[in-house]
Amino acid sequence: MRAKSLLASLGDVFVPVVYRSDNAAAIELACALAPRVTLVGVVPLPPEGTLSAGASAAQELRRLLRQLGRGEQVRARSQVLVTSDPWKDLVKVAEELKPDLMLLDWQAHLPALGLDPATVLAHPPANVGLLRGPLTTLRRVVVPVRGGPFAELALRVAINLRQTREVQVTSLHVQLSGAPETNTPFRTLQGILAQMPDIEQRSVVTDDVARYLVQEVQPTDLVVIGATAKAAKASIGPVAERLLKEARGAVLIVATQRPAPAMFDASAGATAISLLVDKWFAENTFEADEFADIPQLVGMKQQQGLTISLALPALNEEETVGTVIETVKRALMDEHPLLDEIVLIDSNSTDRTREIAHSLGIPVYIHQELLPRLGSRRGKGEALWKSLLVTRGDILVWIDTDIVNIHPRFVYGIIGPMLLNSNIQFVKGFYRRPLRVGDKLQAGAGGRVTELTARPLINLFYPELSGVIQPLSGEYGGRRSALEVCPFFSGYGVETGLLIDIYERFGLAAIAQVDLLERIHHNQTLEALSKMSFAIIQAVMRKLEARYERAFIADVNKTMKLIRYEDGGYFLDVEEIAERERPPMVEVEEYRERCSAGKLRSV
């Protein structure tokens, strides 16, 4: 059993890719060692800085990871770690991945991550190797062994190199003069090595082990040596330390996994939430340009076996709906099959909106005519909810049809993070929103309800979501499996409600946001924005009811008194704005039947 354990191949190696560090040697060795290599990007930040400052670095590193991760052998994890405690986060990733070996570059990774070797070797979360280059060629490997606790891992690494690169491997047992005869652990290794005739075995007695090894390994490309273990602690040891300083070739120091004590305590309170949000912001904020390679997105979609639907909610948008459809359809269906379908969800427009969509070959549904058994409600949220019924995609994206500066990025930017990271369930778009005042545009003056109502409420009651730049943006999407289990508000509260529900069901890491650059659209009147705010406040209160299991919104006024001015005098106009929820679509009988039948029919 012992020999079989030693002969077992390394199946996978985990390598951190540190921002603006030289990761090449560690990746090259990992590829030589194992058939599967997992790369995880790391952006280390100083403790006194804010994690959100690492967002642009994370985006740059994701681009590099996509280049490095092309091919069957090397897989790059989509989520980049932005952290002021990189070792803590790498430990978590290693515990999740359970690799056969975690490989760190001594000269590049340790200083960039603020690590010392003792920290890594004391309680590694997986078998670990510390590589000191250069690694120019890989023809001869020497493994100095004395029978220590990490000698088997050192031999296993060398054997893998022999199997993949046909290198010459030499097992070198160096014994100090006057020391006892070969110890019991080494006799066990001798028994294993006897079964491996392809490995050269040499034994030497010397007065200075370190000096002899330094001289012996000078023509060697790579020395693999186990760390020193004493009193349940691992260290480099004097022999390995001298090799690191004087060997011309590369040196790899290895240690086996050792259980760590409970060293990371979760913090509580506002500081912890702030760190959580900053970290999420840096790691889960994307740029649309990251996904501008549409053929690559199509390949990712096909590889994952996914289908993607785009639903366009509309109400009297004849001026812009045609351009929106033509632009997106041409780029993402006709030229590249990223989208499997585009449908229009109309709210009973009285202009030519539906006629224009029909003329462009787009199926049109009037949401008031869908699910007649459940009746019809006014509002965009009702249209979005019913779009689940008439689309078939595993991923469903919504964009508004009043976008004046429409570009395919409004769609592929939303899709990209979900294709990149299977853990992301929901993606929100954000952008600069110029406000048109007369014939002029004021940059960044849009999003008034966002800044005056939605974000203050989120910061107050859901601070974990405070990093979401534009919670009310109309460009967003999610995985059907997540959207179908969420209730939908029928009116203006739909975006706020969905964001909170996704967070509460799937966690903050399941949400991402993407910069769509600039969005120009028709701005609403102040009265319309006031109504929107009133509905959003109700939506947040509904979610608080569920959290605290207390129905207090029944006592809240759902009518809004609008102040009018006419004929030189003021008066009040009362309007009911009651934000109501639809149940999760998965609970609707017609939806379940549609899922079973797999057929759709437009009106």
**pLDDT tens readout for residues 416-430:** 999 999 999 999 999
pLDDT at residue 414, rounded to an integer:
98
| Residue-wise pLDDT tens digits, 35-84 | 999 999 999 999 887 888 899 999 999 999 989 987 889 999 988 999 99
Residue 532 clears pLDDT 90, i.e. is over it? no
**CA 275/CA 271 separation, integer angstroms:** 6
pLDDT at residue 263, rounded to an integer:
36
Answer with the residue of higher pLDDT: 142 or 257: 142
Amino acid (1-letter code) at residue 107? Q
pLDDT at residue 480, rounded to an integer:
97
Contact present, 308 and 395 (Cβ < 8 Å) = yes
Those residues with Cβ within 8 angstroms of residue 257's Cβ, 6 or more apart along the chain or in another chain = 124, 125, 126, 127, 128
Answer with the residue of higher pLDDT: 234 or 174: 174
Residue 442 clears pLDDT 50, i.e. is over it? no
Q: Integer distance in angstroms from the first to the last C-alpha of the chain?
A: 68
Confidence of residue 2 (pLDDT cuts 50, 70, 90): very low
Confidence of residue 555 (pLDDT cuts 50, 70, 90): low
Q: Output phi, psi for 242, to 5 deg.
A: -70, -40
Is the Cα dihedral 415, 417, 423, 424 positive or negative?
negative
pTM: 0.78
Q: Which of 120-134, 382-396, 487-501, 543-557 has the lowest mean pLDDT?
A: 543-557
**CA 71/CA 110 separation, integer angstroms:** 27
pLDDT at residue 147, rounded to an integer:
64
pLDDT averaged over the chain? 86
| Residue-wise pLDDT tens digits, 91-111 | 999 999 999 999 999 999 999
Contact present, 226 and 254 (Cβ < 8 Å) = yes
Confidence of residue 268 (pLDDT cuts 50, 70, 90): very low
3-class state of residue 519 by DSSP: coil
Residues paired with 573 in a beta bridge = 562
pLDDT at residue 236, rounded to an integer:
80
Q: Taking residues 406-421, what's their average pLDDT?
A: 97
- What is the 8-class DSSP label of residue 474? S
Per residue in 568-581, is it b (16+ CB within 10 Å) or e — as a string?
A: eeeeeeeeebebbb
Confidence of residue 441 (pLDDT cuts 50, 70, 90): very low
* Residue with the two structure tokens 């120091």: 253
Q: Using alpha carbons, select from 449, 450, 447, 506 the residue that is nearest to residue 478.
A: 506
Residue 140 clears pLDDT 80, i.e. is over it? yes
* Angle of helix 409-420 versus helix 294-304 axis, rounded to 10: 40
Residue 266 clears pLDDT 50, i.e. is over it? no
Q: Taking residues 124-152, what's their average pLDDT?
A: 87
Q: Using alpha carbons, select from 253, 410, 261, 396 the residue that is nearest to residue 327.
A: 410
Q: Which of 14-23, 215-224, 437-446, 544-553 has the lowest mean pLDDT?
A: 437-446
Answer with the residue of higher pLDDT: 206 or 514: 514
**CA 227/CA 62 separation, integer angstroms:** 33
- What is the 8-class DSSP label of residue 554? G
Contact present, 347 and 367 (Cβ < 8 Å) = yes
**CA 350/CA 510 separation, integer angstroms:** 39
Contact present, 236 and 228 (Cβ < 8 Å) = yes
DSSP 313-376: EESS-TTTHHHHHHHHHIIIIISSTT-SEEEEEE---SSSHHHHHHHTT--EEEGGGSSGGG--
Contact present, 107 and 133 (Cβ < 8 Å) = yes
251 to each of 135, 218, 538, 572, how far by Cα in Å?
A: 9, 11, 64, 81
Answer with the residue of higher pLDDT: 50 or 548: 50
Highest-confidence segment of 139-143, 154-158, 185-189, 553-557: 139-143
Confidence of residue 352 (pLDDT cuts 50, 70, 90): very high
Confidence of residue 265 (pLDDT cuts 50, 70, 90): very low
Residue 182 clears pLDDT 60, i.e. is over it? no
Those residues with Cβ within 8 angstroms of residue 296's Cβ, 6 or more apart along the chain or in another chain = 66
Residue 433 clears pLDDT 70, i.e. is over it? no
Q: Taking residues 395-420, what's their average pLDDT?
A: 96
Query: HSE on the CB side for 441, CA within 13 Å?
Result: 10
pLDDT at residue 123, rounded to an integer:
82
Extended strands (E) in 240-287: 250-255, 285-287
DSSP 287-329: EGGGG--HHHHHHHHHHHT--EEEEEEESS-TTTHHHHHHHHH
Which bin fits 549, alpha (ψ -120 to 50), beta or left (φ > 0)?
left
* Residue with the two structure tokens 């639903």: 311
